[in-house]
Structure 1
Amino acid sequence: MSKLNKDILFLIFEELQNNSKFLFSCLMVNRIWCETVIPILWRNPWRYSINYKKISLYSIITSYLFDDIKELLTKRGILILGQSLAFDYLSFCKNINIKVIDDIISIGSSLEYNRFLLQEEIYSLLVKKCPEIKYLNICGTYEIVYHPEAKVRLESLCELTCDTLIDSRYFYRLANICQQMQRIIVINKNLVKVNQGTIKLIEFQKNLKYFKWVDEFDDDYYYYWERLEDPYTEIFSILKKHANTLNHFNINLRYNYYDHSDFYDIYNEFNYTFLQNSLLEIHNLKILEIDSPIFLNNDDFNKKLEMVAYRNLEILEIDFIDCYQINCMVKNSLCLRELRINDFHWNYDNFYNDSLNFIRTICEYCLLIEYLTIPAFPSLEKHFIEFEKLLKKCQKLQSLNFKETYYEAGGELEFGDNLLNVLIREASTNLKEIRISYGIKFSLKTLETFLEKWKGRPAVSMFLEETFFYRKNNSYMKLFDKYKIEGVIKKINV
């Protein structure tokens, strides 16, 4: 392998760019390997600040400073670690991460003013030396966009990570410089004021494909809820403008449920219609990830959701959702490969029909499904018949995750045994992972029959949340050990 030409090596290293241990080991093989891997490592050297050691990065960066600048900074008591450079490292750099770089700069001095002087010189250096900045993380303090060369260097920016505490004027300038960003990640830390700059920045983009919003308030943020200007509605409204290009939508909203006697009271107390309204408009998504209290107690939204078709959706991951509503979202999602639901909400009056319709919808529309989360449905013949049809049709299914939703007290074993019998009859040979939540148990006899008949298939990984039930009976543990040795079970988690 050490004799492969540089082009082939480059392709291999590209595929392994997230494996820092491997890439750093390549530096010591020979000069060709070193010359090939350096440009890959230095696209975003800040991600390796732990592996590479901050002191090494600091030494390389300060080596670029002119001698008179080094002398001036040294007189100020700032540590300068110059060294001869084997490569023009910064010419490969396409990523600026303010927070990490500020941390590296702090090596030079503990004094705030001295760190400011270093920031002035080093960020000026980076803007001049990095020929094309593709990724910018400005979750920090230094105002890099005001450098004279910033306009030329940032015009081709593809990805921005920022927080809402940054001055709006900073975003206004970015909005005028960068209008071809494909990915924007917003960390929301502002409790009492809407950041108009982020709104303008998003509005100006012409090819936005990925948007991520993460709330990072302090734990006591909910005490300030009534003082909020509503940091969401305008931004999420602007996102509708990008409905044709946006294909990845990732939302993580903070909410507090500890102060509510009924968990579901939070859905009535806080208004999340801004997110619901956005989802009705953003129809070209391939990936949708939502962690927030949404969708409940809104009949008007439900009716509109029935009319929406997410025809390109491949991955749908939601923390908490009503069975009826997920059924609406999945319908007509012919490309869906992963459906990950952390928890289902249900209405006992409607759950029989909602759970039955959910199974039928997956069976009819989701033939490409590989990862499926499904609520534990009523232990009724009709439901198991429909579930068996689902297994017959969804032959690409690799992981099946049952969530505790509905079971009859005393009927946990009956449900579990019926489930195993259906799985051994109809599960695809692609199925390699089964996750079973609380409220579903397997009898020893049926479990042994299931594992015996699973022989000849790829080994299965099983995650069983009824830990105490299985661990208190040594017969179960012996059974698991036996079939692990025989290669039927790949992994068992009880």
Structure 2
Amino acid sequence: MPKLNKDILFLLFEELQDNSKFLFSCLMVNRKWCETVIPILWRNPWRYSINYKKISLYSIIISYLSNDIKEFLTKKGILILNQSLTFDYLSFCRNIDIKVIDDIISIGSSLVYNRFLLQEEIYSLLIKKCPEIKYLNICGTYEIVYPPEAKVRLESLCELTCDTLIDTRYFYRLAQICQQIQRIIIINKNLVKVNHGTTKLIEFQKNLKYFKWVDEFKEDYYWELLEDPYTEIFNVLKKHTNTLNHFDINLHYEYSITDYYDIYDDFDYTFLQYALLEFHNLKILEINSPIFLNNDNFNKKLEMVAYRNLEILKIDFIDIYQVNCMVKNSLCLRELRINEFHWNDDDDNFYNDSLNFIRTICENCYLIEYLTIPVFPSSENHFIEFEKLLKKCQKLRSLNFKEAYYEAGRDLEFEDYLLNVLIREASANLREIRIPYDIMLSLKTLETFLEKWKGRPAVSLYFNNTYFYQKDNSYMKLFDKYKIEKVIKDINV
């Protein structure tokens, strides 16, 4: 491998850029390997700060400062380390991460004023020396956008991570400079006021593809005393429906009531569900929010939406009927991960909705690899449709049953059917099965299943059942036996 030319080495190292242990070992092979891997490591050196050791990064950056500045900082009691530079490291840098860099700067002095002086010099240095900044994390307070060189260095910015505590004018400046950002991640830490600058920044983008919003605050105030921090943002996001393909939302909420829908009495979360009606080009949709209101107006509109490009759908809590509407035209769907299904208390509604859900997956989502499915009634129609699903979805790797329905007196019938149909029809790709507490598995049925699974790839089993911990430990002995025989890969009970 040391004889490989630089082009081949570069392609190899590019593929392994997330493997920091490997990349750092390459530095010691020979000079050619070192010269090839340094530009990759220094594209975003802050992600490797643990491997580099922060003191090393600090000394490299300080070495770029002029002698006059070093002398000035030394007189202030700031630690100055002189190091000869083998490479022009900062010429490779395309990433600025304020949080990590400020942590590195703290090595120079514990005094707040001295750290301020270092920030002034080092951020000015980075803006001058880094040819162009592609990734910027400004979850901090230093105003890096104001040096004269900032406009040239930041106008090609591709990814921005920020929080809502930053001064609104700072975002206005960014909006003027950076209009080609493809990925925006906003950490919402401002509970009291809306940061209108974030809205303006989003509005000015011309090719926004990825948007992530994360609430990170403690609820210290009553909702009715606060400004609405969401509606303005989500309304302007609708202007990017043609380009937006990844949407990730994580809202702060707490259920402390019996009826999940009562949470809307405290705050109106419908801005999210109605915004989603506009995002028809999404490939990835991740939602952690209160359950959507189940009203006729929204459901009728949802029925008309077609997420034809959707590949991954992750939702914390959703009505079965609504998720069925969302995936019915998603022919590219590979992952459907639902933490909890909801349904009306009417058994007839659940019967129909769960049956339609299975049919939808079977008829439209034959590329599915990771599937969450509600425990369904022990009806002949459900059994037939589920068997069709397994036959059709031959790429299925993970099958996760979620507790949603319990039919007293028929649990043993369901367990026999489920394990038998998995043996007969499940794809050879199936590697993971998750079983909730309301599917009761007898020791005999489970042993029969594992015996018949022999010859297939080892399967990981996840159970949520306390009855496995019997006094005689018979279930655990069974699992240990089939782990030794490599029928079971992992077991979690």
Q: Which secondary structure does the structure 2 equivalent of 1:144 belong to?
A: coil
Q: What is the identity, as a one-letter code, of the residue corresponding to 1:53?
A: K
Q: What is the identity, as a one-letter code, of the residue corresponding to 2:190?
A: N
**Alignment check: 8 A CA contact 1:398 1:433 kept:** yes
1:236 counterpart (230, 234, 255): 234
Q: What is the identity, as a one-letter code, of the residue corresponding to 1:417?
A: D
Over aligned residue pairs, what C-alpha RMSD do you find? Answer: 1.3
**Alignment check: 8 A CA contact 1:199 1:234 kept:** yes
**Equivalent residues in 2 for 1:89-488 (5 A)?**
89-218=89-218, 220-221=219-220, 223-257=221-255, 259-349=256-346, 350-488=349-487
Which residues of structure 2 form unaligned runs of 5+? none
CA distance in 2, matches of 1:157, 1:412: 56
**Alignment check: 8 A CA contact 2:159 2:183 kept:** yes
In the TM superposition, what whole-angstrom CA distance separates every residue of 1:304-357 from its partner, at most 9, and x where no partner exists? 000000000000000000000000001111110000000011113111111011
1:268–1:329 Cα change, 3 Å: farther
Deviation at 1:475, TM superposition (A): 2.4
CA distance in 2, matches of 1:355, 1:472: 37
In the TM superposition, what whole-angstrom CA distance separates every residue of 1:36-64 from its partner, at most 9, and x where no partner exists? 11111111111112222111111110010
In the TM superposition, what whole-angstrom CA distance separates every residue of 1:463-494 from its partner, at most 9, and x where no partner exists? 11114435545222222122212221111112
Q: What is the identity, as a one-letter code, of the residue corresponding to 1:250?
A: D
**Alignment check: 8 A CA contact 2:183 2:211 kept:** yes
1:473–1:407 Cα change, 3 Å: farther
In the TM superposition, what whole-angstrom CA distance separates every residue of 1:140-187 from its partner, at most 9, and x where no partner exists? 010000011000000100000001111111111111111011000000
CA distance in 1, matches of 2:109, 2:77: 7
CA distance in 1, matches of 2:441, 2:240: 49
Q: What is the identity, as a one-letter code, of the residue corresponding to 1:84?
A: S
**Alignment check: 8 A CA contact 1:379 1:407 kept:** no
CA distance in 1, matches of 2:22, 2:377: 50
Q: What is the identity, as a one-letter code, of the residue corresponding to 2:103?
A: D
1:193–1:80 Cα change, 3 Å: same
Q: What is the identity, as a one-letter code, of the residue corresponding to 2:92?
A: F
**Alignment check: 8 A CA contact 1:192 1:224 kept:** no
Q: Which secondary structure does the structure 1 equivalent of 2:482 belong to?
A: helix
CA distance in 1, matches of 2:45, 2:223: 39
CA distance in 2, matches of 1:422, 1:268: 45
Larger CA deviation: 437-446 vs 113-122: 437-446
Match of 1:19 in 2: 19
CA distance in 2, matches of 1:171, 1:362: 43
Larger CA deviation: 77-86 vs 289-298: 289-298
- Deviation beyond 6 Å, 4+ runs, structure 1: none
CA distance in 1, matches of 2:264, 2:364: 30
**Alignment check: 8 A CA contact 1:402 1:436 kept:** yes
**Alignment check: 8 A CA contact 1:267 1:297 kept:** no
Deviation at 1:90, TM superposition (A): 0.5
**Alignment check: 8 A CA contact 1:403 1:436 kept:** yes
Deviation at 1:264, TM superposition (A): 4.1
Q: What is the identity, as a one-letter code, of the residue corresponding to 2:175?
A: A
Q: What is the identity, as a one-letter code, of the residue corresponding to 2:328?
A: K
Larger CA deviation: 383-392 vs 469-478: 469-478
CA distance in 2, matches of 1:92, 1:413: 63
**Alignment check: 8 A CA contact 2:224 2:266 kept:** no
